[in-house]
Amino acid sequence: MPKNPQRPTQIKLPRKPSPWMVLLAIVIGLTIVSSALAPNQNQQKTEEIPISTLLQNFQEGKYAKIEIRGEEITATPLDDKSTKQVSIKTSSDSAADLGLYSSPATEVVNISTEKQTFWLSLLGDILPFVIIVGIIVFLMSRMSKNSGGPFSFGQSKAKTFDRRKKKTKFSDVAGAQEAKEDLEEVVDFLKNPKKYTKMGAKIPRGVLLVGSPGTGKTLLARAVAGEANVPFMSISGSEFVEMFVGVGASRVRDLFNKAKKAAPSIIFIDEIDAVGRQRGGGGMSGGHDEREQTLNQILTEMDGFENNTNVIVMAATNRPDVLDKALLRPGRFDRRVVLDSPDMKARKEILEVHSKNKPLSKKVDLEQISKITVGFSGADLENLMNEAAILVAKENRKTITQEDISKSVEKVTLGRERKSIAMTPEARQKTAYHETGHAMMAYLLPHTDTVHKLSIISRGMALGVTWTMPEEDRYSISKDKFLDDICMLLGGYAAEEIIYGQHETGVSDDLKQATRKARSMATRYGMAPELGPVSFADTEDHAGYESFGVKNISEEYAQKIDEFVQKTTEDCLKKTIDTLQKHKKLLLEIGKKLLEVETLNKEEFEAFFPKKKKVVKKKETKTTSPKKKN
């Protein structure tokens, strides 16, 4: 391709008038209207007469009122319908010299001795209008200061990235190999559109990036623009909608017009679910609100591209289930690119990318870090390396060690240590046995995650923590794992019951998580024999809106679900108590040691168990199904 490809001819639009010229025109117009209307208000015709005639009429009592303004004397006849009479006196004559004084028949008023200038009178007429217009302009400019001026509500707020600056490439995106392969075709479309049009293929109109927060959707969109070397216009879905009706639709039109003029180009709409939710909202919103007008305009623009317009719309969301079906049909967002949380290999690559400009010790093993960061997104891993660098800089050291990164993993996962909290000896003892109960159940049951650390040092909102992590990436969860996880969550509850005969409020979060897992088994995964292979998850939420009193499930099924949740948690608690009662001596021994040292790592904890009786964890079967949040 030539280095300087010919750009399409730019259409010169008529120059828009300056906002201040518009303001000046408004002020002048209001002044003319005010001047035209002012003389019509209670004005009588005047007749100029000699001063001698005016004095004679005054002596005869023909006036009701006489007003003296400087050298001008205005007399109002007794008859209000008669013409006013005006005379001019000399500057040296006063009212007393002329014999003008108040009487029962005539009122003499000396209004002013200075003559008001024309400009002062004009200022008094237009000043209120200037103040009002100034306030309006100030408010409009404050509300639209990022739009280019006080009269640019309908202009797009999209940011266009400068292609002369450093570009993002696919090489800057670690992991997400399948997603990059899908987007490489889009890049080829933008670089060589004729290659596809000759074969009768149509350039895709839209690409929807779907993934959990932090998986790199925005980064991939910028990489596409960098690889294709085309203008990249980025905007958030929430930036379309304003308090004024019609502004969102106007901004959509302006954005697409700019993209067409700069074609080939890319429009990137982040968090498109802000404007792309299903219309109607389950009865919660009307059919003509601002958000729906904006969505309708997006649909029209995407389906109204000319055949020779090389513009691709990319959008990102982590809630594809709430998007309007019209957005997802062929001809609009033709492709859907899914970004999952990275696997162990991808996590190592991401860690290598984010450690390039950081002084790592030669002994740092990023592969080991990738093994203990299962479930971390790309953004989580970036934050992890940043926290390690902050820790080293705070301690005035020059290299980041393996221990620094491990501490950062704990800080990101569990929260910062709060050693300042002073617990009573009794509270520390109960916390030690509580955490030991969790850890022992995690070790003794075959389907639970591996214990990495247990501690009675307060972190976040918890008085103590038991940190378990899976040894490998997991893509599906069995019923046995659900039940073992519930037993592990109830380990603290059971340990307190065994040793103290009662439990305290610290078990509340454990009970909440255990109940949630049991309910998910019944309502989402069909693991309740009493209910059969039925899922109730789709009735819990409609297009992102709560159902506000709508009855989603019958009372009969609701009772069966409650009975299943109660029976499951009770059975798991009985199993947990029996298991810990069987190993009560070991429970007391580990709890006493934890009380002394405050923290036990994986090796120190597993040393309490006989090697020949060590439980071998059963690995979950990997499937090709998408990852699910539980």
| Widest CA span in the chain | 136
Nearest CA to 27 among 103, 122, 114? 122
Query: Rounded to whole angstroms, what are the CA distances from 412 to 361, 445, 512?
Result: 21, 27, 22
CB-side neighbour CA atoms (13 Å) of 102: 6
Instruction: Give pLDDT, residue 494.
Output: 94
In the block, residue with structure tokens 């890319």: 266
State whether residue 236 is helix, strand or coil.
strand
Q: Which of 456, 436, 414 is nearest to 598 (CA)?
A: 456
Residue with the two structure tokens 């499951």: 568
- Relative to beta strand 335-339, strand 206-211 is parallel
Q: Which residues are CB-contacts of 101 (< 8 A; sequence separation ≥ 6)?
A: 95, 108
Neighbour count for residue 390 (Cβ, 10 Å): 13
3-class secondary-structure state, position 355? coil
Helix (H) or strand (E) holding 209: strand 206-211
User: Using CA atoms, how far apart are residues 361 and 400, in angstroms rounded to an integer?
Assistant: 6
The CATH number fitting domain 159-339, selected from 3.40.50.1100, 3.40.50.300, 1.20.1050.40, 3.40.190.80: 3.40.50.300
- Determine contact, residues 436/583, Cβ cutoff 8 Å: no
The β-bridge partners of 88 are 72
Low-confidence ranges of the chain (pLDDT < 50): 1-14, 39-42, 113, 115, 146-154, 282-288, 539-550, 612-614, 616, 621-630
Query: Does 435 participate in catalysis according to the annotation?
Result: yes
| CA-based torsion, 487, 490, 496, 501: positive or negative | negative
**From CA 44, how far away is CA 74, in angstroms rounded?**
12
CB 78 within 8 A of CB 64: yes
Domain boundaries, the chain: 44-115, 159-339, 344-414, 425-613
Instruction: Assess whether the region 44-115 and the region 159-339 belong to the same CATH fold.
Output: no
- Give, as one character, the DSSP assignment of residue 323: B
Q: In the block, which residue shows the tokens 């038991």?
A: 466
* Residue in 435, 563, 596, 620 annotated catalytic: 435
CA distance 372 to 413: 10
Q: What is the pTM of this model?
A: 0.66
113: tokens are 């001795």
- What is the rounded CA–CA span in Å between residue 194 and residue 200? 10
Outline where DSSP puts E strands in 288-405. 311-317, 335-339
Hey, how many other C-beta atoms are within 10 angstroms of the C-beta on 578?
Answer: 10
CATH class of domain segment(s) 344-414: mainly alpha
Closest to 277 measured CA to CA, from 263, 290, 265, 266: 290
CB atoms within 10 A of CB 157: 17
d(CA 502, CA 493): 9
Q: Thinking of the domain 425-613, which architecture would CATH place it in?
A: Up-down Bundle (1.20)
Starting at the earlier edge strand, list the strands of the sheet with 63-69. 46-48, 84-88, 72-77, 63-69, 107-112
568 Cβ neighbours under 8 A, 6+ residues apart: 483, 486, 518, 521
The CATH class given to the 44-115 domain equals alpha beta
Q: In one letter, which amino acid is 598? A: E
- Report how far residue 439's alpha carbon sits from residue 467's, in angstroms, rounded to the nearest whole number: 8
- Per the CB < 8 A criterion, the answer to whether 354 and 381 are in contact is yes
Q: Which of 331, 337, 301, 334 is nearest to 316 (CA)?
A: 337
Peptide bond into 264 cis (omega under 30): yes
**Confidence (pLDDT) at 283:** 42
- Phi/psi for 17 (5° steps) reads -65, 150
Q: Which residues contact 39 (CB under 8 A, 6 or more apart)?
A: none
Instruction: Give the DSSP H or E segment for 366.
Output: helix 366-371
Residue 600 sits at φ, ψ, to 5 deg, of -125, 130
- Can you tell me which residue has the tokens 């080293």? 392
The string of pLDDT tens digits covering residues 515-541 is 999 999 999 888 988 888 888 865 444
Alpha-helix runs per DSSP H in 207-275: 217-228, 247-261
Distance CA 484, CA 449 (A): 10
